[in-house]
Structure 1
């Protein structure tokens, strides 16, 4: 028969055992394989944008390989800064990711004075998903069939080039061109590619560093003349068009890139896991075809390589923007 003290000891022991069981259950819950619930993939631009379309390809691939839904969330505004800031402020648990293009993660820190996030500090780079090249095109009225011929024309008269807006890849492609060639061209920003083409095709502006898919049909029809692509390698969509380096401008490279990022301080094991899954996805033939249909090419690469790449892109565009005196509020 139990005495009171022995009953008390039994109760204490029982409580202690229950606590140990609860602690073990909590540890097991924390050790559950990632991911254990749906993932949000934030796109800092609206539906139908290139960033959005690439995100949906990546989201489907990740959902299939990880066994959890990957939900694309569009958070546009302020040149992509609203969506990027939302991810920078999210919990670093791997359940909120960003598909960040060149603008939000390399260019905007040098363009905007009061940015609410700093990409190099607030994000953990995972991998580069895809790249999209621009192509330097001129109206056929321009008597230049090569980049060298265009450069020789620039000191003689004022040529203009169109873009889809201040601070975008088309604008900065032109500014880098001017910087490396020590020439001048008048930048004419438009609100979108359609408006820019409406003035380029009849010759009201002479040139454009155009996104390849946007201008492809006009190049093929002869309404625009392609002089060079801005990427380091020739575009699969325009294999006959040389790169800027091949056209006589070494050191010129502009790729619109779209990378996967997590909030800073996320578990490095999660970053490596996501990196490995994306590499598998990008090697799938059907994914390569989907990207090519958008005018994009699969990128990939290690976490370390992508981290160094983002730093280099940040530094490159900071210099171009400073030298050109570009600033946005």
Structure 2
């Protein structure tokens, strides 16, 4: 009986100490400056979202959080740096979902595997693309653009091969049964300049990047890529409605990613910060002003979303036979 009491007492003591043991094993985070890389130039959806998140994360943790723009190769350059970084939660990247879903199919010589080398920590926000044309093109609707593209060669700009704007445009062209020449740039901002200058006819570009120019009359907005109208441009037709195709909704995710092998307690801490930051009215309001929708998902939801998006976009990329070195 005495031995049994001793055993029960030992088990009770172990149970009581378990939470403290877990805390002792959990690595402290952050212990130094946190870097968040962005694979596109300043001004795009990734940059806007990252800077808002970084500002709030710094306030919450007391550690410096810096944002580093490293554009190029369809956001791959920034993602590669993080994929090969020390997995301690101090080097992160915010990427459009295309880094995981389509880039591995398009870029033949990648030095990393986004699906294996990166952890999808949280979907911070979603964003759309806006189909715009230079006013000199002379079209004011999707129907007019389709009709014109059937009669003469036309061009469209994107922020690079296989980025959201490129994919949105190609899905639109496929659905509409027309062709336009793709002119890739290094990011949505330079692509917007290409359309503004008349160097390129049109572009399916990040809504927050082009909406100010559309409101100023410097670009003609034709359609928003999502099924729901944009709060910034409620009078602009949605693509599914313009094409009479309810399933033509094209919405993209912005995903916070960490190197594979980052300790689970650090991932959990980042998840918690992401969820709480993205629920702040100030953050949601600022994102909405740029036509971005705050999310702040768990890592599990982010991983599931990536798998679903891979299944959606893989046939499109293969049909287009998109390949880049």
TM-score (norm 2): 0.79
Mind listing any 5+ residue stretches in structure 1 that lack a counterpart? 1-26
Instruction: Quickly say closer, same or farther: Cα 1:159–1:83, change in 2 above 3 A.
Output: closer
- Cα distance in 2, alignment partners of residues 284 and 165 from structure 1: 33
Q: Which residue of 2 aligns with 1:316?
A: 312
Task: Summarize the alignment of residues 115-194 of structure 1 with structure 2, pairs less than 5 Å apart.
Answer: 115-140=110-135, 142=137, 144-190=139-185
Instruction: Quickly say closer, same or farther: Cα 1:249–1:205, change in 2 above 3 A.
Output: farther
- Cα distance in 1, alignment partners of residues 198 and 69 from structure 2: 36
Q: Which residue of 2 aligns with 1:43?
A: 37
Which of the numbers 196, 199, 206 marks the counterpart of 2:201? 206
- Cα distance in 2, alignment partners of residues 246 and 31 from structure 1: 54
**Alpha-carbon offset, residue 135 of structure 1:** 0.7
**Alpha-carbon offset, residue 277 of structure 1:** 1.7
**Most deviating of 143-152 and 308-317:** 143-152
- Report if the CA contact (8 A) 2:26-2:265 is conserved: no
Equivalent residue pairs, number = 305
**Alpha-carbon offset, residue 73 of structure 1:** 4.3
Task: Summarize the alignment of residues 2-21 of structure 1 with structure 2, pairs less than 5 Å apart.
Answer: none
Q: Which residue of 2 aligns with 1:20?
A: none
- Report if the CA contact (8 A) 1:44-1:82 is conserved: no
Q: Which residue of 2 aligns with 1:13?
A: none
Mind listing any 5+ residue stretches in structure 2 that lack a counterpart? 1-20
Q: Deviations over 1:297-318 (max 9, x none)?
A: 3122232221111122233333
Q: Secondary structure at the match of 2:60?
A: helix
Instruction: Quickly say closer, same or farther: Cα 1:77–1:32, change in 2 above 3 A.
Output: same
Larger Cα Rg: Structure 1 or Structure 2?
A: 1
Instruction: Quickly say closer, same or farther: Cα 1:260–1:165, change in 2 above 3 A.
Output: closer
Whether 1:31 aligns to 2:31 is no
**Most deviating of 258-267 and 203-212:** 203-212
